Amino acid sequence: MDIWEKMYKEAQKLYNPHEVSDFVYANHVVAAVEAEDGQIFTGFCMEGTCGVFHLCAERAALFNMYQFSGQTKVKKVLAFRDKAPYGGSSAMPCGACREFLLELNAENKDAEFMMDYDTKKNSESRRTNALLVGRRTCL
């Protein structure tokens, strides 16, 4: 089992879309990150109707990585809804997640995002730098 498959299986355990309340839903998107030391950390999204309370699965996984290991450097990121990333923008992280990844550790510019799980080709994944065209240069 390769690392992408391990990450997928770990994140898949969290996939359980449901309404938390009339205003909040959770587990519609799940994610896994591989930390620098090879550990896998997962997270799920929580979103509210007010527009302010949104936590993406990718950032939740990054928070868990830091909280439980103190690590900030990421090798790989995988996020999906009801099925594995299948190309195009199906696994494209939002701008806030991309920005947070780089602000967490500037070396995360080389983190790899799985864009098409079925092919698992490097050409079907993207590095963080390629996803932040025109990014401000504060790092």
pTM check: above 0.95? no
Separation between Cα atoms, residue 13 and residue 9, nearest integer Å: 7
Rg (CA), the chain: 14
All structural domains of the chain with their residue ranges:
3-131
Task: Give residue-wise pLDDT tens across range 70-112.
Answer: 999 999 999 998 877 776 666 678 888 988 999 999 999 889 8
Task: Give residue-wise pLDDT tens across range 25-53.
Answer: 999 999 999 999 999 999 999 999 887 78
Domain 3-131 -> CATH class: alpha beta
Direct distance between the N- and C-terminal alpha carbons of the chain, in angstroms, rounded to an integer: 36
Q: Is residue 123 scored above 50 in pLDDT?
A: no
